[in-house]
Amino acid sequence: MKDKDYDNLIYGIRPVLEAIEAGKTLDKIFVQKGLQSELWHELRDALKANGISYFSVPIEKLNRLTRKNHQGVTAFISPIAFHDLGEQIQSSFESGKTPLFLMLDSVTDVRNFGAIVRTAECSGVDAIIIPHKGSASINADAVKTSAGALFNVPVCKEHSLVRAASFLQNSGFQVVGCTEKTENHIYDCDFSVPTVIVMGNEETGISPDLMTKADTNVKIPMYGTISSLNVSVATGVILYEVVRQRFEP
């Protein structure tokens, strides 16, 4: 893989440290396992002070990202700033409309993610919640596939989606999981109240802990021989059921 495929990649301990000090938003940081140096300790302290998590990876992972001297550290600069979940909850209620949030559990395909954000923006989603780990990179491809919607919909990164779901429930939201492992159809669910819709990975679906946290689980009726929809299409179907229920001509 050539470096030019990663226009938002920076590498080397000092450049990553300077990016943090400059207030850049970093999407993913990869650190070589067992890295030890005085400068790395300085970077580690900066990451901790700013609440930034990183991935410990084998050196082979870093070498695949860049052939240049990465010093055991690479990072991707995000084209967007991430938002605080509590602030988004407050602003959504203050807006006067019924809040609608979208939680994406381990949706890792960049183009699916971008397409979902585009639909979310069109359907009036107030914020999108993703995990710190196990989510698609927010890069130029994601922005392009979203048709620029990533600049308009706040994205919140949370260390635990289960804790985020509890926080939303305590704030007055119902948590609705979209899964084929239920008998409840999306048309039977009342979306007239503040709602966060949870969508899972196409292969594994919503994680079990998050599934049990949901107030209710719903499915999209299927009549063909293929048992599931692409996650971005499925997200569009359920979001526009919310729009249909809330639509006031």
Same domain, 108 and 212: yes
Cα-trace Rg, the chain = 19
Average pLDDT on 85-94 reads 97
Compute the distance between CA of residue 120 and CA of residue 126 in angstroms, rounded to an integer. 8
| pTM for this prediction | 0.88
Q: Which of 119, 127, 139, 100 is nearest to 230 (CA)?
A: 119
Of 42, 77, 112, the position where a domain reaches its end is: 77
Mean pLDDT, all residues of the chain: 93
Same domain, 94 and 69: no
pLDDT of residue 6: 67
CB atoms within 10 A of CB 123: 18
* CB distance 54 to 29 below 8 Å: yes
Question: What total number of domains does the chain contain?
Answer: 2
Of 77, 97, 118, the position where a domain reaches its end is: 77
Query: Which position has the token pair 């979306």?
Result: 191
Average pLDDT on 158-179 reads 97
Predicted confidence (pLDDT) at residue 1 exceeds the cutoff of 70: no
Range(s) of the domain holding residue 207: 85-246
Helix%, strand%, coil% for the chain, nearest 5: 40, 20, 40
Amino acid identity for residue 21 in this structure: E
